Structure 1
Amino acid sequence: MLQLIKLEMKKFKFGWYVKGAVIANIIMTVLMCCIMYIEQEERDLMITMYQDVFVLIGGMVRATFIVFAAVLIAKMVIEEYRNKTILILFSYPVSRKKIIASKLLVIAVMTFVTILLSNMIVAGSFFIINMYVPIVPFSVTVHQFLEEAINMLFFAIAAAGASLIPLYFGMRKYSVAATIASSLIVVAIAFSSNSAFSMVTFIPLQLGLAAIGMMIAYSAIRNIEREDTI
C-alpha cells in the first residue's frame, strides 16, 4: 500500500496543489483582514471574541479545501476512468481495492494536512498582522492558540471525511463537473449560517457528513472488483 501511495504521489506531481493552497491561504488571510476591518468600521460586532475569528477562519478554510479535494478526486479517479487509463493500473498484479484505496487515502490525508496547516497559517497570520495593524480589539495568546488548535484538528478530520462525498456523484457517470458541483453542495450544507444558527460548528452535522464520506469511500473500494471500467 505504501508503495502504491508513493507511485500516486509521483504520478500526479502535486506542485500545482501546493501552489494553489499557498495562494488560497494568502487570499483567505487578506479576506479575513478586510472582513474584520469592515465589521469594526461599521460597528456590526457579530465577532467580539477571538474564538469567533477562529470559527470564521475554520469554516473558510474547510470549505475551500473540500472543493480542492473534489479537484483531486476528479484528477486522480474520475479522469482515470474517463480516459480509461485506470485499465492500465488494473492490469498490474495488484488488488484493485488497494489501488483505489491508495488514491482515496492520498486525497483524504492531503485534505486533512492542508486544512490543519492552513487553519494555523491563516489564523496565525491574521493575529500577527493584528499586532502591528490593529484590526480587532482583542488578541490571542500562545496558550489560547494551542487550545484552538485542538478544535482545528477535530474539524480537519471531519472535513477530510466529508471531502470524499463528491466521489459518489462523480463515479455515477464519471463526470468531473458533477464531482466539483457536488463539493459545492456539500460546502453549502456544511457551512451555511444565519443570525440564529450556524452549521460551521454544529458537530453532529460535521460528523454525519464525515461518516457519509467514509461510507462512500468504503463502498467504492468494496465494489471495485465488480465494477465495469469500460
Structure 2
Amino acid sequence: MARHVPTKPSDQPPAKSYGPFFLEYSLMAEYNLLQKQNLPGMYLMPSAKTPLLWFGVIFIRQGLYQTGVFKFCVVIPSNYPDGKSPQIIFDHPPFHPLIDPKNGKLDVDRAFVTWKRNVNHIWNVLLYTRRIFYKIDVDLPLNPEAAALYENKLTHFKSKVVESIECSKLHLYDDPKTNDPHELRFIAQDARGAEEAQGTQHDQRKHKMLSSTPQLKQNPNGLSWVASGSNSPFTKQVK
C-alpha cells in the first residue's frame, strides 16, 4: 500500500509557535539588564499578569523637578524586540515639554527613532526618562506651553512644575488603577512610630502580594516568569 504523502500545507500538523517563548525570554533578559544598571531613583516591577506592562516610579533628587515623585508605566510592544520602542506613560503628567499633558505619554520616539534589536534596551528608555528631568529639551514639544514658558518665562515655568509635583504627590496614595498585585502602591503613615511600623507594613504588603499570585493561574494564556509564591524573576520552570 502506497504511503500517503501530504501535498497541501493543511495536511501537515501546524508548527508550534515559539513566538511567546521568545518574547518571554527577551523580557527576562531585559529585566535582568535593568537590575544590573541600578538606575538612581527609579524602581520598576513587572506586572503579575503580563510581561508587556511594567509599573514604575521615579524620585527626582535635584534640579527643576527636585522632590518630584512620579508614577508611570512601561508599555512594551507585543512584537518586542522588533517594532517600535517601549512607551512611557505617567499616571499624572509632570509639566514638561516632552510629556503630553492630556495622556501623560513621554515622547520616547525622538530618542529611539528606529528601535534596534540587541542595540537598544528597555533600560536605555528608562535612562532617557530620567534624563529629561535634568536636561530640558524644547524642540518639537508635546507640551508647547511648557516649552514656551521654559524659554521665555522661567519663573512661571518653575511654578507650573511645582504645581505638577504637588499634584502627583497628592495622588500617590490613591487606590490602584488596576487589580494587579504588583502595581506600585504608597501607604500613608502617621509620623509617630513610623520607623517601627515600616518593617511590619512592608512584610504585610509583601505577604499580601505573594499570596495573591496563585489567582493568576486562572488565565492559562498569560506570560509570566515569576513562580507562584515568589517575587523574584526567573524562578518559574519552563514546561
- Could you say whether these structures have the same fold, taking a TM-score greater than 0.5 normalized by the shorter chain as the test? no
Greater strand content: 2
Greater helix proportion: 1
Q: Which has the larger radius of gyration?
A: 2
TM-score by length of 1: 0.26
Tell me: higher relative CO, structure 1 or 2? Use CA pairs within 8 A at least 6 residues apart: 1
